[in-house]
Structure 1
């Protein structure tokens, strides 16, 4: 069944991308319920599972249903790629009690099915504290790697809009999303279905923990679409650097490999994450390549993006031609 979002006003101005540390944190609890559905994250699951006995596991498991859904108030839509976890946790803590209970009933159907921790006094404060502890122990050490992947996705989608248009970008999010006229159709795996206008805009949020696309359970919630971030399948793998022999002999294997990869812009953090090395090591090579006129850089938000120059393109083309 579809969720239909009717774009209003200026289409481009009304569509924004954002990153939500909180959504990633909450949705990662899906791996607690059914780790076998998330095989690409097994390295992270193995690393963090022994830490769970130091967490409020009763409350954390009460945040997600047996069918891996969460109430909307736990995943408020972010408004920026620079969203901070502490700001999102503050939004949760300020959720009115009637909203919490209404959304729990919407999710579970009856009061009897709502997990016991939600029936106790101070449940919302306990949930916020449980999530904060979970972040500190299991997420914070890995967040730079995760954020680099999400920021890389946002950068890619922005280029896709500029080069191919809004409809192509929506189609690229998932086979289950498409733009028809001024309506964005999101076909879900559940029977959830509603239609609403996107007054105030439509937010697109990349995630590492979804297998398709999702939208708020309640049509009253601000319109947003959660979709699978590109590259999630290789998040925990170190990627090899392709290095053509002739250019590697001139520049060294690491710098030649970086040039080969930088046909599209990327930040040093993103590159370090994908290659399994430190940002410091990558930055040293990037600075040397830029000084040699083989890279250009431009600022995008908090990140500096690097891309090959025309001279580097010609060197690579000649080098690969000789292979």
Structure 2
């Protein structure tokens, strides 16, 4: 059990972030144990083909299964909302050699050969690791990054709406079955980890939605690192689907294209993402979304450089009624 004690200032400074490096490390675990991450099997099949001939031996040795501990320098909590993979790799390469050794010394048991060499030669190890991560990213994550990023951005938007009606504590509601919040204390049930931490009142907690974290939840609370909690956002199960069943009743009322778009908005999405999912042209999607917005069935929200569309409460009720017919 991990117990985090919050002050009012800690809660006020709690924020969200997306992390390419967390998606890399979590997805390596998925590749090693695909049976434990069944919702990602469509991605596993494509990623394995794309990774043929790509050398990631050091990266693979640094990411154990089952996951007891992954070195903190490989999974830094982001400093801003949406860093690029290049920005996170720059931060990785800037890791102090003493920090590399300190994190590797937290690994229980004998170090794998390449990890032991890394500990002895941190500078060369960081260069090799960064190169492997970038090669892995380009082959296995980059082709799918837009949809992964949209899911994370949609989750942040959903949590913000939750907080607007339920207060700051609503941030942690239904975050994960292992998470509970009561009177300024966040508890996370962990199989391998037990600790009590009091946040420092200066940085708060960073919540990092990560598609490849499913079905687990991960924390980073070791000083001097920024405290963070990494979890899977809702909608992961539909991430690799190419089509969504559309209720016939909804199609009869709205027409096939608008019913399809409304059904696809289980998680907030952009016009481009909806076009990729549905096969409709981007101008066509934009036209139909404008009509749905005018009817009060979707709302628009800006998230960084993107505009995300979200189903309204009226649309939710309409879909629920259609599914029941």
How far apart, CA to CA, are the structure 2 residues paired with 1:217 and 1:296? 37
Which residue among 235, 249, 258 is the counterpart of 2:239? 235
State the partner residue of 2:302.
Answer: 299
How far apart, CA to CA, are the structure 1 residues paired with 2:45 and 2:15? 35
CA contact (8 A) 1:237 1:276 kept: no
**Count of aligned pairs:** 318
State the partner residue of 2:153.
Answer: 151
CA contact (8 A) 1:72 1:217 kept: no
Residue correspondence of structure 1 range 146-295 to structure 2 within 5 A: 146-198=148-200, 199-210=202-213, 211-216=215-220, 218-240=222-244, 242-243=246-247, 245=249, 248-249=251-252, 251-259=254-262, 266-269=269-272, 271-272=274-275, 275-277=277-279, 280=282, 281-290=284-293, 295=298
Structure 2 unmatched runs, 5+: none
How far residue 74 of structure 1 moved from its aligned partner, in angstroms, is 0.6
How far apart, CA to CA, are the structure 2 residues paired with 1:239 and 1:178? 34
How far apart, CA to CA, are the structure 1 residues paired with 2:232 and 2:110? 31
How far residue 167 of structure 1 moved from its aligned partner, in angstroms, is 2.8
- The answer on 1:105 being equivalent to 2:109 is no
CA contact (8 A) 1:4 1:195 kept: yes
How far apart, CA to CA, are the structure 1 residues paired with 2:24 and 2:292? 37
CA contact (8 A) 2:235 2:266 kept: no
How far apart, CA to CA, are the structure 1 residues paired with 2:100 and 2:316? 59
Please, what TM-score do these two structures have when normalized by structure 1? 0.84
Structure 1 vs Structure 2 CA RMSD: 3.3
CA contact (8 A) 1:59 1:117 kept: no
Structure 1 unmatched runs, 5+: none
How far residue 82 of structure 1 moved from its aligned partner, in angstroms, is 2.1
State the partner residue of 1:89.
Answer: 89
CA offsets, 1:121-175, max 9 Å, x none? 6001110011011111111111111111111211111111112233333131112
State the partner residue of 1:137.
Answer: 139
